A = this chain, B = another copy of it.
Amino acid sequence: MKKERLEAFSDGVFAIIITIMVLELKVPHGEHLDALLPLWPVFLSYVLSFVYVGIYWNNHHHLFQACDRVSGAVLWANLHLLFWLSLFPFVTGWLGENHFAELPAAVYGIVLLMAAMAYWILQKTLIAAEGERSVLRRALGQDWKGKLSPVLYLAGIVVSFWQAGAALAFYVGVALLWLVPDRRIEKTLR
């Protein structure tokens, strides 16, 4: 199977998720600053989630550039990733509306963790299809970011019940870690 339609469909879902998240930023009633200011936590959580979806799109882009064809298992591993990403608008809205409270921070972290696991499964499925000696396998190398991130998400989830702010620091940290695009695949492809 060719990968083009999987990429096109995923791009569509990524584009919609990143855009409908902004619908949680509800137009305030009132034209003055006191109507706009209470929105800052929703805005901040929107920025964080926008960056996360951007990171996933970026890495997804790199991942599929390193492989040629996709199997039925890859289609479902990809849908599984998109499922967890599709929950971003919900958890982002809940986190922002409750001003970064404990439980919303934990649930946000759980969805981040599940998306990271789904991405890891997608990678494994692709490598299984491409082979251990493939460009993709070599390009991923040690994948220390991929291994560290779930640990940091877990730490964030545990911490969130005491200190929601500390949990958010973990999530922002992981985002910064990934903000540098994944040059491994670019390098190996060259």
Interface residues of A (CB under 8 A from B): 1-2, 5-9, 11-20, 22-25, 27-33, 36, 47, 50, 54, 57-58, 61-62, 65, 72-73, 75-76, 79, 82-83, 86-87, 89-90, 93-94, 97-98, 101-104, 107, 179, 181-183, 186
Contacts and interface: CB of A to CB of B under 8 A. Distances in A.
B50 A83 contact: yes
A27 B27 contact: no
Contacts of A90: 22, 25, 27
Nearest to A19: B16
15 contacts: A1-B65, A5-B7, A9-B15, A12-B14, A13-B15, A16-B16, A18-B82, A27-B90, A31-B94, A31-B101, A36-B103, A58-B75, A58-B76, A61-B75, A76-B179
Given A5-B7, A14-B9, A103-B36, A181 B72 contact: yes
B57 A1 contact: no
A71 to B, nearest CB: 8
Contact of A8 (B11, B22, B79, B82): B11
Nearest to A28: B94
Contacts of A86: 18-19, 22, 50
A12 B72 CA distance: 20
Contacts of A25: 87, 90
Nearest to A57: B9
A2 to B, nearest CB: 7
